[in-house]
Structure 1
Amino acid sequence: MIGSDYTLELCNVFHSGQVEPGSFFQRLIGGVKTGVILKDVSFTTHSGEVTAILGSKGSGKRALLDVIARRVPAKGHILLEGVPLENEQFNSTCALVRHNTRLLPGLSVQQTLALSLTKISGYLKSSKVKQVMADLALSNVAHKCVTNLTKSEYRRLVIGVQLIRDPIILLLDEPTWDLDPLNTYLVISILSNAAKKYGTAIILTMEKPRSDVFPFLDRVVYLCLGDVVYAGPTRNLLDYFGSIGFPCPQLENPLMYYLCLSTVDRRSRERFIESNHQIAALVEKFKLEGQGIMQGNLHENNRIVNPNKIQLNYGKPGGMRVIWMLYLRLLASIFNLKKNGMKQMFMRLLALPIYFFILWIFYNEAKDYQRAFITKSGLIFNAMVGTYFISIMNTICLYSPYRTRYYQESQEGLYSGASLLLSWNLVSLPFSFLSTLASAAVIYPILSDISENLDFVYFALALWSCYVYAEQQAMAVMMFVKNGLIAGIVNIYITCIYIMLASGVLRSYKGFEEWLYYLTYITHTRYASIFMHRNVFKQPTFNILPYSDQENCTSTITNLIQTSSNLNTNSNANCRYASGRAFLTERFSSKNFNGDIFQSGDFDPEFNLGVSFAFSVGIMVFNKFLYLMPLPGYITDKFRE
Structure 2
Amino acid sequence: MESISTKQDAEGERIVSETITERKEVHIKVLEEHAVSSTHKENSATLQAEESLSISWTKLTYTITNKKTKKPENIIENCCGIVNPGEIMAIMGPSGAGKSTLLDVLAGRKDPKHVTGTVYLNGKSGENVKFVSTYVMQDDALMGSLTVRENIRFAADLCFPSTVSPQERHQKVTAIIKEFGLERVADHKVGNIIIRGVSGGEKRRTAIASQFVTLPKIIFLDEPTTGLDSAAAYSVMNAIITTAKMHKLTVIASIHQPSSEVFALFDKLYLISRGGTIYHGSRDGALDYFKDQGYECPEHANPADFYLSKINVDFMQDKEVGEAHIQTLIEKYEESSVKRSVDKEIDELCLPIDKEDVASDKLVTSKTTQGYNRYARGFFVQTYFITKRSFTNAYRNILLYWIRVAMYVCLALLMGTVWWQVAFEQKNIQDRFSAHFFSVAFLVFMSVAGIPGFLEERVVFRRERADGFYSVGSYALANFVVSIPFVFIIALTFTAVAYPMIGLHSGFGHCMSFLAYLYLALMVAESMVVFVAAVIPIFVVALAIVAFLNGFFMVVQGYFVRRDSIPRGWKWAHYIDYQKYAFEAIIKNDFVGLTFKCDKDESTSRCSCFYGDTSGKSCTFNGQDVLDSFGYTEIKPWLWAVALLGLMIIFRVGFYAALRLRKNRL
TM over 0.5: yes
The 1:81/1:447 distance shift into structure 2, 3 A limit, reads same
2:190 paired residue number:
146
Tell me, yes or no, if the aligned pair for 2:534 and 2:655 is still in contact at 8 Å.
Answer: no
The amino acid that maps onto 2:139 is: N
Q: 1:468 aligns with which of 498, 518, 523?
A: 523
Q: 1:315, 1:622 → 2: CA distance? A: 24
The 1:547/1:404 distance shift into structure 2, 3 A limit, reads farther
Deviation of 1:296 (Å):
8.7
Percent identity reads: 21
Deviation of 1:450 (Å):
6.0
Partner deviation per Cα, 1:409-439 (whole Å, 9 max, x = no partner):
2222333332112111211101212321232
Q: 1:357, 1:518 → 2: CA distance? A: 35
- The alignment status of 1:403 with 2:458, answered yes or no, reads yes
- The alignment status of 1:483 with 2:483, answered yes or no, reads no
* Bigger shift: residues 533-542 or 348-357: 348-357
Q: 2:437 aligns with which of 364, 369, 381?
A: 381
- The alignment status of 1:83 with 2:160, answered yes or no, reads no
- The alignment status of 1:291 with 2:339, answered yes or no, reads yes
- The alignment status of 1:281 with 2:359, answered yes or no, reads no
1:253 paired residue number:
302
The amino acid that maps onto 2:608 is: T
Partner deviation per Cα, 1:36-77 (whole Å, 9 max, x = no partner):
111110011001111001101011000001100111131101
Q: 1:506, 1:266 → 2: CA distance? A: 62
Tell me, yes or no, if the aligned pair for 1:77 and 1:84 is still in contact at 8 Å.
Answer: yes
Q: 1:221 aligns with which of 266, 270, 277?
A: 270
Deviation of 1:610 (Å):
2.9
Q: 2:388, 2:153 → 1: CA distance? A: 10
Deviation of 1:262 (Å):
1.8
The 1:161/1:553 distance shift into structure 2, 3 A limit, reads farther
CA-based RMSD of the aligned residues comes to 2.9
The 1:493/1:561 distance shift into structure 2, 3 A limit, reads same
- The alignment status of 1:620 with 2:658, answered yes or no, reads no
2:636 paired residue number:
604
The 1:547/1:490 distance shift into structure 2, 3 A limit, reads farther
2:418 paired residue number:
362
Q: 2:556 aligns with which of 501, 512, 515?
A: 501
Gaps of 5+ in 1: 298-313, 565-574, 590-596
Q: 1:118 aligns with which of 129, 142, 159?
A: 159
1:583 paired residue number:
626
Q: 1:509-548 maps to which residues of 2 (within 5 A)?
A: 509-513=563-567, 516-517=570-571, 519-542=573-596, 544-546=597-599
Tell me, yes or no, if the aligned pair for 1:15 and 1:37 is still in contact at 8 Å.
Answer: yes
1:310 paired residue number:
none
- The alignment status of 1:133 with 2:177, answered yes or no, reads yes
Q: 1:190-339 maps to which residues of 2 (within 5 A)?
A: 190-264=239-313, 266-269=315-318, 272-289=319-336, 290-294=338-342, 316-336=376-396
Deviation of 1:159 (Å):
0.8
Tell me, yes or no, if the aligned pair for 2:375 and 2:468 is still in contact at 8 Å.
Answer: no
The amino acid that maps onto 1:399 is: F
Q: 2:212, 2:180 → 1: CA distance? A: 10
The 1:237/1:267 distance shift into structure 2, 3 A limit, reads closer
The amino acid that maps onto 2:176 is: V
The 1:253/1:606 distance shift into structure 2, 3 A limit, reads closer
The amino acid that maps onto 1:512 is: I
Deviation of 1:619 (Å):
2.9
Tell me, yes or no, if the aligned pair for 1:248 and 1:254 is still in contact at 8 Å.
Answer: yes
Deviation of 1:318 (Å):
1.9
Q: 1:8 aligns with which of 45, 55, 58?
A: 55
Deviation of 1:128 (Å):
1.4
* Bigger shift: residues 61-70 or 410-419: 410-419
Q: 1:179 aligns with which of 225, 228, 232?
A: 228
* Bigger shift: residues 550-559 or 117-126: 550-559
Partner deviation per Cα, 1:478-535 (whole Å, 9 max, x = no partner):
1121222221221111111122112x32222243345545652222222221111111
Q: What SS does the aligned partner of 1:627 have?
A: helix
The 1:483/1:132 distance shift into structure 2, 3 A limit, reads same
The amino acid that maps onto 1:138 is: L
TM-score, with length taken from structure 1: 0.83
The 1:128/1:555 distance shift into structure 2, 3 A limit, reads same
Q: 1:84-103 maps to which residues of 2 (within 5 A)?
A: 84-86=125-127, 89-103=128-142
Tell me, yes or no, if the aligned pair for 1:112 and 1:161 is still in contact at 8 Å.
Answer: yes
2:4 paired residue number:
none
Tell me, yes or no, if the aligned pair for 1:369 and 1:547 is still in contact at 8 Å.
Answer: no
2:36 paired residue number:
none
2:350 paired residue number:
none
Q: 1:613, 1:505 → 2: CA distance? A: 22
Q: 1:345, 1:494 → 2: CA distance? A: 22
Tell me, yes or no, if the aligned pair for 1:248 and 1:257 is still in contact at 8 Å.
Answer: yes
The 1:373/1:551 distance shift into structure 2, 3 A limit, reads farther
1:61 paired residue number:
99
Q: 2:188, 2:391 → 1: CA distance? A: 17
Tell me, yes or no, if the aligned pair for 1:232 and 1:295 is still in contact at 8 Å.
Answer: no
Q: What SS does the aligned partner of 1:13 have?
A: strand
Q: 1:263, 1:211 → 2: CA distance? A: 19
Q: 2:567, 2:620 → 1: CA distance? A: 24
Q: What SS does the aligned partner of 1:223 have?
A: strand
Tell me, yes or no, if the aligned pair for 2:146 and 2:393 is still in contact at 8 Å.
Answer: yes
The 1:265/1:457 distance shift into structure 2, 3 A limit, reads closer
- The alignment status of 1:556 with 2:574, answered yes or no, reads no
The amino acid that maps onto 2:177 is: M
The amino acid that maps onto 1:506 is: F
Q: What SS does the aligned partner of 1:603 have?
A: coil
Q: 2:74 aligns with which of 36, 42, 50?
A: 36
Partner deviation per Cα, 1:258-287 (whole Å, 9 max, x = no partner):
221122253321xx4444333222211211
The 1:367/1:264 distance shift into structure 2, 3 A limit, reads same
TM-score, with length taken from structure 2: 0.80
Tell me, yes or no, if the aligned pair for 1:10 and 1:42 is still in contact at 8 Å.
Answer: yes
The amino acid that maps onto 1:145 is: K
Q: 2:605, 2:534 → 1: CA distance? A: 55
The 1:99/1:347 distance shift into structure 2, 3 A limit, reads same
Q: What SS does the aligned partner of 1:507 have?
A: coil
The amino acid that maps onto 2:136 is: V
Deviation of 1:577 (Å):
9.3
Tell me, yes or no, if the aligned pair for 1:508 and 1:586 is still in contact at 8 Å.
Answer: no
